[in-house]
């Protein structure tokens, strides 16, 4: 199988019903030649990640709107950090609306597939949608994701004096002294108000960072619980399937044994009747009068 063809088959694995992933992956590994170990190492996605993979395959418009809104939000933050105009509030609202639409569409896909929707799974879906795009190929998520928070702005060319990245724009530089008034002293009241404004802005940043860290911690905890619950459900389903298969095999064996028993009993009756008939013939012959 060519590399392109194999990559296509790998992508197709994530379109399958979740219960078929493992067997299909193992079957593909047998045909993968030198990439067999790579294929066997592919992880079965939890329910939340699988559902978002289906969103990518089945409702590309909704998925693309979400990715576009995520890019717009990051661009707005970048503009603000660069001292340019950026409508972060509008971009953030659009991103939240795109997340809501994607969440509803993903939940509907789960419902159509007959997959149970727990609160933990719903939270894991919402958290992952908020974190997109991830590093894995679109439509091939193998795990749920966590939003990057302030890290989503990593690499942008604005930093505080301490080197820490922030979403607060740098203050505009003070204008140079007027040529007509060299050496003019600054207004102490204005300086005090400016310092107070800076201190308040820094306090708000710290509060926002703490709140974000708390939310990320709770989201991460909820996602871990969701993955554990999804795995437990998958394991239970596999156990039920195995038990049902074992029961079906046992029922077939019992049915076959009953048929064998009935056939043996029939043959025994026939043998008994044949024996009785033979004895009757023998007794009839021995009681017949002998010729003179």
In which domain, by residue range, is 74 found?
3-149+195-245
Confidence of residue 291 (pLDDT cuts 50, 70, 90): low
Residues of the chain with pLDDT > 90, as a percent, come to: 43
pLDDT-derived band at 232, boundaries 50, 70, 90? confident
pLDDT of 124 higher than 90: yes
Q: Which of 31-35, 54-58, 153-157 has the lowest mean pLDDT?
A: 153-157
Specify the long-range contacts of residues 13-18, CB closer than 8 Å, at least 24 apart.
13/42, 14/45, 14/50, 14/53, 14/57, 14/139, 14/140, 14/141, 15/53, 15/54, 15/57, 15/139, 17/113, 18/44, 18/45, 18/47, 18/50, 18/113, 18/115, 18/234
Q: How far apart are CA 186 and CA 189, in angstroms?
A: 9
Our CA angle for 74, 79, 82, nearest 5°, is 125
pLDDT confidence tier of residue 210, bands split at 50, 70 and 90: low
Q: What would the mean pLDDT of 57-81 be, rounded to a whole number?
A: 91
Do the domain assignments include residue 211?
yes
Query: Within a domain: residue 179?
Result: no
Total domains in the chain come to 1
* Averaged pLDDT for residues 50-77: 93
> Is 182 contained in some domain?
no
170 within domain boundaries: no
Quick check: is 290 in a domain? no
Quickly state the pLDDT bin for 83 (edges 50, 70, 90). confident
In a domain, 52, yes or no: yes
First to last CA, the chain: 96
Q: Does 246 or 129 have the greater pLDDT score?
A: 129
Please write the tens of the pLDDT for every residue from 153-204.
555 544 444 544 444 444 344 444 444 444 455 577 777 777 777 777 667 6
Residue 289 lies in a domain: no
Q: Which of 122, 119, 127 is nearest to 107 (CA)?
A: 122
Give residue 64's pLDDT.
96
Encoded tokens for 41: 């190492």
Burial class (CB in 10 A: 0-12, 13-18, 19+), 76: buried
Whether residue 177 is contained in a domain is answered as no
């Amino acid at each position: 199988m060519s590399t392109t063809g194999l990559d296509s088959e790998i992508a197709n694995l994530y379109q399958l019903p979740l219960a078929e992933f493992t067997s299909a992956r193992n079957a593909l590994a047998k045909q993968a030649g030198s990439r067999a170990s790579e294929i066997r190492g592919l992880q079965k996605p939890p329910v939340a990640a699988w559902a978002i993979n289906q969103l990518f395959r089945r409702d590309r418009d909704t998925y693309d709107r979400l990715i576009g809104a995520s890019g717009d939000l990051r661009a707005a933050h970048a503009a603000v950090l660069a001292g340019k105009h950026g409508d972060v509030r509008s971009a953030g609202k659009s991103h939240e609306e795109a997340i809501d639409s994607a969440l509803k569409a993903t939940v509907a896909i789960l419902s159509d597939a007959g997959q149970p929707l727990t609160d933990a799974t719903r939270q894991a879906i919402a958290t992952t949608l908020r974190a997109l795009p991830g590093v894995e190929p679109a439509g091939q998520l193998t795990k749920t994701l966590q939003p990057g928070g302030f890290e989503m702005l990593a690499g942008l060319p604005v930093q505080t004096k301490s080197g820490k990245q922030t979403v607060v724009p740098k203050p505009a530089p003070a204008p140079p002294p007027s040529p007509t008034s060299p050496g003019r002293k600054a207004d102490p009241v204005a300086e005090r108000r400016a310092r107070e404004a800076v201190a308040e802005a820094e306090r708000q940043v710290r509060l926002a960072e703490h709140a974000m860290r708390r939310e990320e911690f709770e989201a991460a905890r909820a996602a871990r619980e969701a993955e554990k619950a999804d795995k437990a459900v998958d394991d239970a389903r596999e156990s039920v399937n195995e038990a049902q298969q074992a029961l079906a095999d046992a029922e077939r064996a019992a049915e076959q044994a009953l048929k064998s028993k009935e056939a043996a009993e029939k043959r025994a009756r026939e043998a008994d009747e044949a024996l009785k008939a033979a004895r009757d013939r023998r007794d009839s012959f021995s009681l017949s009068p002998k010729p003179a």
